[in-house]
Protein backbone atom coordinates (compact mmCIF):
# COMPACT_ATOMS: atom_id res chain seq x y z
CA UNK A 1 0.00 0.00 0.00
CA UNK A 2 1.62 3.25 -1.13
CA UNK A 3 -1.13 5.49 0.15
CA UNK A 4 -4.42 5.46 2.05
CA UNK A 5 -7.81 4.44 0.55
CA UNK A 6 -9.93 7.18 -1.06
CA UNK A 7 -13.73 7.23 -0.65
CA UNK A 8 -16.60 9.45 -1.81
CA UNK A 9 -19.07 10.59 0.86
CA UNK A 10 -21.71 11.05 -1.86
CA UNK A 11 -21.89 7.25 -2.08
CA UNK A 12 -23.08 7.11 1.53
CA UNK A 13 -25.46 10.06 1.10
CA UNK A 14 -27.05 8.66 -2.06
CA UNK A 15 -30.41 6.90 -2.21
CA UNK A 16 -28.72 3.97 -3.93
CA UNK A 17 -28.49 1.14 -1.39
CA UNK A 18 -25.74 -0.59 -3.35
CA UNK A 19 -23.53 2.51 -3.27
CA UNK A 20 -24.24 3.12 0.40
CA UNK A 21 -23.52 -0.48 1.38
CA UNK A 22 -20.28 -0.43 -0.60
CA UNK A 23 -19.20 2.75 1.19
CA UNK A 24 -19.91 1.18 4.60
CA UNK A 25 -17.92 -1.92 3.67
CA UNK A 26 -15.01 0.18 2.38
CA UNK A 27 -14.94 2.32 5.53
CA UNK A 28 -14.79 -0.78 7.70
CA UNK A 29 -12.06 -2.36 5.57
CA UNK A 30 -9.94 0.81 5.67
CA UNK A 31 -10.29 1.20 9.42
CA UNK A 32 -9.54 -2.45 10.12
CA UNK A 33 -6.46 -2.49 7.89
CA UNK A 34 -4.80 0.93 8.19
CA UNK A 35 -7.02 3.18 10.34
CA UNK A 36 -6.91 6.01 7.78
CA UNK A 37 -8.79 7.02 4.64
CA UNK A 38 -9.21 10.12 2.48
CA UNK A 39 -12.67 11.50 1.75
CA UNK A 40 -14.03 13.57 -1.11
CA UNK A 41 -17.36 15.44 -1.35
CA UNK A 42 -17.39 16.36 2.34
CA UNK A 43 -19.08 19.52 3.68
CA UNK A 44 -16.01 21.76 3.80
CA UNK A 45 -15.64 24.17 0.88
CA UNK A 46 -12.39 25.41 -0.63
CA UNK A 47 -13.38 28.93 0.42
CA UNK A 48 -13.67 27.76 4.05
CA UNK A 49 -10.21 26.22 3.87
CA UNK A 50 -8.54 29.22 2.24
CA UNK A 51 -10.16 31.67 4.63
CA UNK A 52 -9.17 29.78 7.77
CA UNK A 53 -5.57 29.33 6.63
CA UNK A 54 -5.41 33.07 5.95
CA UNK A 55 -6.74 33.86 9.43
CA UNK A 56 -4.53 31.42 11.33
CA UNK A 57 -1.39 32.64 9.55
CA UNK A 58 -2.27 36.15 10.70
CA UNK A 59 -2.67 34.88 14.28
CA UNK A 60 0.56 32.89 14.42
CA UNK A 61 2.44 35.86 12.91
CA UNK A 62 1.52 37.95 15.95
CA UNK A 63 4.11 38.55 18.66
CA UNK A 64 4.57 36.04 21.48
CA UNK A 65 3.31 38.68 23.89
CA UNK A 66 0.09 39.18 21.90
CA UNK A 67 -0.54 35.44 21.57
CA UNK A 68 0.14 34.80 25.27
CA UNK A 69 -3.05 36.69 26.21
CA UNK A 70 -4.97 33.74 24.80
CA UNK A 71 -3.09 30.96 26.64
CA UNK A 72 -4.84 29.38 29.63
CA UNK A 73 -3.97 26.70 32.16
CA UNK A 74 -5.74 23.47 33.06
CA UNK A 75 -9.02 22.49 31.40
CA UNK A 76 -9.42 26.04 30.08
CA UNK A 77 -6.34 25.28 27.99
CA UNK A 78 -8.69 23.26 25.79
CA UNK A 79 -9.57 26.63 24.26
CA UNK A 80 -7.32 29.30 22.82
CA UNK A 81 -3.56 29.22 22.35
CA UNK A 82 -0.88 26.68 23.34
CA UNK A 83 2.69 27.92 22.94
CA UNK A 84 5.61 26.29 21.15
CA UNK A 85 6.97 23.02 22.54
CA UNK A 86 4.46 22.60 25.35
CA UNK A 87 2.78 19.41 24.09
CA UNK A 88 4.61 16.12 23.64
CA UNK A 89 3.65 12.59 22.57
CA UNK A 90 2.71 10.12 25.31
CA UNK A 91 5.88 8.61 26.76
CA UNK A 92 8.17 11.22 25.18
CA UNK A 93 9.75 14.11 27.09
CA UNK A 94 10.79 16.29 24.14
CA UNK A 95 8.15 18.85 23.20
CA UNK A 96 6.77 18.78 19.67
CA UNK A 97 8.00 21.56 17.38
CA UNK A 98 4.64 23.31 17.12
CA UNK A 99 2.25 25.90 18.51
CA UNK A 100 -1.52 25.70 18.10
CA UNK A 101 -4.99 27.11 18.74
CA UNK A 102 -8.15 25.36 19.92
CA UNK A 103 -11.67 26.19 18.75
CA UNK A 104 -14.24 24.31 20.85
CA UNK A 105 -17.93 23.44 20.68
CA UNK A 106 -20.55 26.08 19.82
CA UNK A 107 -23.42 25.63 22.25
CA UNK A 108 -26.80 27.30 22.62
CA UNK A 109 -27.20 29.45 25.72
CA UNK A 110 -29.40 26.79 27.32
CA UNK A 111 -26.74 24.08 26.81
CA UNK A 112 -23.76 26.07 28.13
CA UNK A 113 -24.48 25.38 31.79
CA UNK A 114 -25.33 21.73 31.03
CA UNK A 115 -21.95 20.91 29.47
CA UNK A 116 -19.78 23.52 31.21
CA UNK A 117 -17.18 23.67 28.44
CA UNK A 118 -14.65 26.53 28.46
CA UNK A 119 -15.64 29.50 26.31
CA UNK A 120 -14.00 30.20 22.96
CA UNK A 121 -11.87 33.35 23.44
CA UNK A 122 -12.36 36.07 20.84
CA UNK A 123 -9.21 37.30 19.07
CA UNK A 124 -9.74 41.05 19.00
CA UNK A 125 -6.72 41.72 16.77
CA UNK A 126 -8.15 39.63 13.88
CA UNK A 127 -11.89 40.32 13.45
CA UNK A 128 -12.60 37.41 11.04
CA UNK A 129 -10.55 34.78 12.90
CA UNK A 130 -13.31 33.38 15.10
CA UNK A 131 -15.97 33.28 12.40
CA UNK A 132 -13.67 31.38 10.04
CA UNK A 133 -13.05 28.85 12.80
CA UNK A 134 -16.75 28.41 13.55
CA UNK A 135 -17.69 27.80 9.90
CA UNK A 136 -14.94 25.20 9.50
CA UNK A 137 -15.74 23.55 12.84
CA UNK A 138 -19.39 23.02 11.91
CA UNK A 139 -18.59 21.72 8.40
CA UNK A 140 -16.15 19.13 9.73
CA UNK A 141 -18.44 18.15 12.60
CA UNK A 142 -21.24 17.47 10.10
CA UNK A 143 -18.90 15.42 7.91
CA UNK A 144 -17.69 13.43 10.91
CA UNK A 145 -21.23 12.59 11.95
CA UNK A 146 -21.89 10.86 8.61
CA UNK A 147 -18.61 8.95 8.80
CA UNK A 148 -19.63 7.72 12.26
CA UNK A 149 -23.01 6.66 10.87
CA UNK A 150 -21.22 4.52 8.30
CA UNK A 151 -19.02 3.08 11.05
CA UNK A 152 -22.11 2.28 13.14
CA UNK A 153 -23.63 0.30 10.26
CA UNK A 154 -20.37 -1.56 9.74
CA UNK A 155 -20.43 -2.53 13.45
CA UNK A 156 -24.05 -3.78 13.12
CA UNK A 157 -25.35 -0.93 15.27
CA UNK A 158 -28.24 1.44 14.55
CA UNK A 159 -27.14 4.05 12.01
CA UNK A 160 -27.68 6.91 14.48
CA UNK A 161 -25.88 5.10 17.33
CA UNK A 162 -23.21 7.80 17.74
CA UNK A 163 -25.47 10.82 17.16
CA UNK A 164 -26.48 11.19 20.81
CA UNK A 165 -22.83 11.10 21.87
CA UNK A 166 -21.25 13.51 19.39
CA UNK A 167 -23.95 16.19 19.07
CA UNK A 168 -22.73 18.83 21.54
CA UNK A 169 -19.61 16.70 22.11
CA UNK A 170 -16.35 18.19 23.33
CA UNK A 171 -14.80 18.30 19.84
CA UNK A 172 -11.77 20.44 19.04
CA UNK A 173 -10.63 22.20 15.85
CA UNK A 174 -6.87 22.67 16.15
CA UNK A 175 -5.00 24.95 13.72
CA UNK A 176 -1.30 24.08 14.11
CA UNK A 177 1.78 26.07 13.14
CA UNK A 178 5.08 24.23 12.76
CA UNK A 179 7.56 27.15 12.62
CA UNK A 180 10.74 27.14 10.54
CA UNK A 181 13.44 24.95 12.07
CA UNK A 182 16.37 27.18 12.98
CA UNK A 183 18.80 24.63 14.47
CA UNK A 184 19.36 20.88 14.58
CA UNK A 185 16.43 19.51 16.66
CA UNK A 186 17.42 17.73 19.87
CA UNK A 187 15.59 14.43 19.27
CA UNK A 188 12.41 16.40 18.53
CA UNK A 189 10.12 16.27 15.51
CA UNK A 190 7.17 18.38 14.47
CA UNK A 191 4.80 15.77 15.94
CA UNK A 192 6.20 12.58 17.45
CA UNK A 193 4.59 9.19 16.75
CA UNK A 194 1.23 9.03 18.51
CA UNK A 195 -2.38 7.91 18.35
CA UNK A 196 -5.18 10.48 18.60
CA UNK A 197 -7.28 10.55 21.77
CA UNK A 198 -10.75 11.01 20.27
CA UNK A 199 -13.29 8.99 18.23
CA UNK A 200 -12.21 10.12 14.75
CA UNK A 201 -10.00 12.90 13.40
CA UNK A 202 -10.70 14.86 10.23
CA UNK A 203 -7.72 16.65 8.70
CA UNK A 204 -7.99 19.44 6.15
CA UNK A 205 -5.36 19.61 3.42
CA UNK A 206 -2.15 20.56 5.21
CA UNK A 207 0.23 23.19 3.83
CA UNK A 208 3.36 21.10 3.44
CA UNK A 209 4.00 17.35 3.48
CA UNK A 210 5.09 15.43 6.53
CA UNK A 211 2.19 13.31 7.80
CA UNK A 212 3.12 9.63 7.89
CA UNK A 213 1.12 6.55 8.97
CA UNK A 214 2.50 3.26 10.31
CA UNK A 215 0.93 0.33 8.44
CA UNK A 216 0.42 -3.23 9.67
CA UNK A 217 3.85 -4.23 8.36
CA UNK A 218 5.47 -1.58 10.57
CA UNK A 219 6.34 0.61 7.59
CA UNK A 220 5.89 4.39 7.57
CA UNK A 221 3.89 5.54 4.54
CA UNK A 222 2.95 9.07 3.51
CA UNK A 223 -0.70 9.92 4.14
CA UNK A 224 -1.53 12.02 1.11
CA UNK A 225 -5.10 13.07 0.34
CA UNK A 226 -6.18 13.92 -3.18
CA UNK A 227 -7.19 17.42 -4.21
CA UNK A 228 -10.30 18.59 -2.30
CA UNK A 229 -10.12 15.52 -0.02
CA UNK A 230 -9.72 15.37 3.74
CA UNK A 231 -7.99 12.64 5.75
CA UNK A 232 -10.15 10.81 8.34
CA UNK A 233 -8.60 8.47 10.89
CA UNK A 234 -9.66 6.40 13.90
CA UNK A 235 -8.78 7.70 17.38
CA UNK A 236 -8.04 5.79 20.57
CA UNK A 237 -11.56 6.21 21.97
CA UNK A 238 -13.14 4.45 18.99
CA UNK A 239 -10.44 1.79 18.92
CA UNK A 240 -11.05 1.10 22.60
CA UNK A 241 -14.84 1.11 22.14
CA UNK A 242 -14.53 -1.52 19.37
CA UNK A 243 -11.96 -3.65 21.25
CA UNK A 244 -9.35 -2.74 18.61
CA UNK A 245 -11.55 -4.02 15.78
CA UNK A 246 -11.05 -0.56 14.26
CA UNK A 247 -7.43 0.56 14.48
CA UNK A 248 -6.13 3.79 15.95
CA UNK A 249 -3.04 3.91 13.79
CA UNK A 250 0.19 5.44 15.03
CA UNK A 251 1.14 8.47 12.94
CA UNK A 252 3.63 11.33 13.04
CA UNK A 253 4.68 14.57 11.34
CA UNK A 254 8.33 14.30 10.37
CA UNK A 255 10.77 17.15 9.95
CA UNK A 256 11.31 18.12 6.30
CA UNK A 257 14.62 17.79 4.46
CA UNK A 258 17.09 20.43 5.63
CA UNK A 259 16.65 22.56 2.53
CA UNK A 260 13.00 23.14 3.59
CA UNK A 261 13.68 23.99 7.24
CA UNK A 262 13.15 27.69 6.55
CA UNK A 263 9.47 27.12 5.68
CA UNK A 264 6.54 26.98 8.09
CA UNK A 265 4.03 24.15 7.91
CA UNK A 266 0.35 24.61 8.79
CA UNK A 267 -2.17 21.88 9.53
CA UNK A 268 -5.76 21.94 10.80
CA UNK A 269 -7.12 18.71 12.33
CA UNK A 270 -10.62 18.40 13.77
CA UNK A 271 -10.73 16.01 16.73
CA UNK A 272 -14.28 14.67 17.02
CA UNK A 273 -14.99 13.92 20.69
CA UNK A 274 -18.16 12.62 22.34
CA UNK A 275 -19.85 14.14 25.36
CA UNK A 276 -17.91 13.37 28.53
CA UNK A 277 -20.54 11.04 29.96
CA UNK A 278 -20.27 8.57 27.06
CA UNK A 279 -19.18 5.20 28.38
CA UNK A 280 -16.29 3.81 26.37
CA UNK A 281 -17.05 0.32 27.65
CA UNK A 282 -16.16 -2.22 24.94
CA UNK A 283 -19.10 -3.08 22.67
CA UNK A 284 -20.46 -6.55 23.40
CA UNK A 285 -20.52 -7.49 19.71
CA UNK A 286 -16.78 -6.78 19.49
CA UNK A 287 -15.95 -9.41 22.15
CA UNK A 288 -15.58 -13.12 21.39
CA UNK A 289 -13.35 -16.06 22.31
CA UNK A 290 -10.62 -14.92 19.93
CA UNK A 291 -10.94 -11.28 21.03
CA UNK A 292 -11.62 -11.09 24.78
CA UNK A 293 -12.42 -7.72 26.33
CA UNK A 294 -9.18 -5.75 26.22
CA UNK A 295 -9.99 -2.58 28.15
CA UNK A 296 -11.39 -1.52 31.51
CA UNK A 297 -14.61 0.50 31.62
CA UNK A 298 -14.13 4.28 31.59
CA UNK A 299 -16.03 7.43 30.58
CA UNK A 300 -14.90 9.62 27.70
CA UNK A 301 -14.23 12.49 30.14
CA UNK A 302 -11.95 10.47 32.40
CA UNK A 303 -10.12 8.98 29.44
CA UNK A 304 -9.57 12.46 27.98
CA UNK A 305 -8.25 13.93 31.23
CA UNK A 306 -5.84 11.02 31.73
CA UNK A 307 -4.46 11.48 28.23
CA UNK A 308 -4.15 15.27 28.51
CA UNK A 309 -1.99 14.69 31.57
CA UNK A 310 0.06 12.07 29.67
CA UNK A 311 0.86 14.50 26.84
CA UNK A 312 1.76 17.41 29.12
CA UNK A 313 -1.06 19.89 28.48
CA UNK A 314 -2.67 19.33 31.90
CA UNK A 315 -1.13 18.84 35.32
CA UNK A 316 -2.24 16.17 37.82
Share of the chain above pLDDT 70, in %: 86
- Confidence at residue 264, expressed as pLDDT on a 0 to 100 scale: 82
- Confidence at residue 93, expressed as pLDDT on a 0 to 100 scale: 53
- Confidence at residue 192, expressed as pLDDT on a 0 to 100 scale: 60
Fold of 6-310: Jelly Rolls (2.60.120)
For 193-226, write each residue's pLDDT tens digit: 777 899 999 998 654 466 788 877 787 877 777 7
Tell me what the mean pLDDT of segment 123-149 comes to.
97
- Confidence at residue 207, expressed as pLDDT on a 0 to 100 scale: 42
- Confidence at residue 130, expressed as pLDDT on a 0 to 100 scale: 97
Tell me what the mean pLDDT of segment 115-124 comes to.
93
The secondary structure of the chain as a DSSP string is --S--EEEHHHHHSS-HHHHHHHHHHHHHHHHHTSEEEEES-S--HHHHHHHHHHHHHHHTS-HHHHHTTB--GGGGGSEEE-TT----TT--SPPS-EEEEB-----HHHHHHH-PPPPPP-TTSTTHHHHHHHHHHHHHHHHHHHHHHHHHHTTS-TTTTHHHHTT---EE--EEEPPP-S--SS--SEEEE--SSSEEEEPPPBS--EEEE-TTS-EEE--PPTT-EEEEE-HHHHHHTTTSS----EEEPPPPGGGTTS-EEE-EEEE---TT-B-PPPGGG--SSS---S---BHHHHHHHHHHHTTSS--
Tell me what the mean pLDDT of segment 127-137 comes to.
96
- Confidence at residue 241, expressed as pLDDT on a 0 to 100 scale: 97
Tell me what the mean pLDDT of segment 274-295 comes to.
96
For 35-90, write each residue's pLDDT tens digit: 889 999 999 998 999 999 999 999 999 999 999 999 998 777 889 999 987 755 55
pLDDT at 183 > cutoff 80: no
- Confidence at residue 182, expressed as pLDDT on a 0 to 100 scale: 63
- Confidence at residue 97, expressed as pLDDT on a 0 to 100 scale: 76
pLDDT at 131 > cutoff 70: yes
- Confidence at residue 139, expressed as pLDDT on a 0 to 100 scale: 97
Residue spans per domain, the chain? 6-310
- Confidence at residue 2, expressed as pLDDT on a 0 to 100 scale: 47
- Confidence at residue 228, expressed as pLDDT on a 0 to 100 scale: 86
For 13-33, write each residue's pLDDT tens digit: 999 999 999 999 999 999 998
Share of the chain above pLDDT 90, in %: 63
Amino acid sequence: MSNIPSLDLNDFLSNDKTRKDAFVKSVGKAYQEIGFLSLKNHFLSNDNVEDLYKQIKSFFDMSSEAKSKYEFEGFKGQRGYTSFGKEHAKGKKEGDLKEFWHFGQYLSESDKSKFNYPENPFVTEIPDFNKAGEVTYKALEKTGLFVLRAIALFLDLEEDHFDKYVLNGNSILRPIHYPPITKEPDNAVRAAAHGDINLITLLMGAHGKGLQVKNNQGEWIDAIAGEDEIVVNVGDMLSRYTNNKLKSTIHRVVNPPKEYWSKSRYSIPFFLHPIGTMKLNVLENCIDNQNPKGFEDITAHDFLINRLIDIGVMKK
